Amino acid sequence: MAKLYIGAGRKLKIRPGDIVGAIAGEANIPISQIGAVQIGDRHSIVEVPEDKASYIIARLSASTIKGKKVRVRRDQA
């Protein structure tokens, strides 16, 4: 699994379901393939299949989560 950093968290009222829904809807990834979602105050971390990480980043970067354009990249940690 790869970890993705999403530049939105509790301050923007993001919930795990919002992130899972965005990945499933925008990238057509089955919910069962999405791993743990951690929501911080200003960012979130989500686990996705390693072989689909770049595709998910591209799809989410071109869309919005809860109407907000967010930064999506591989997590550095």
With beta carbons less than 8 A apart as the criterion, state whether 33 and 40 touch: no
pLDDT at position 76 is 84
pLDDT at 4 over 80: yes
Write down the mean pLDDT value for the chain.
Answer: 94
23-56, pLDDT tens digit by residue?
Answer: 999 999 999 999 999 999 999 999 999 999 999 9
pLDDT at 77 over 70: no
Q: What kind and span of H or E run contains 25?
A: helix 16-27
> In the chain, what's the furthest Cα-to-Cα distance?
31
Distance CA 4, CA 74 (A): 4
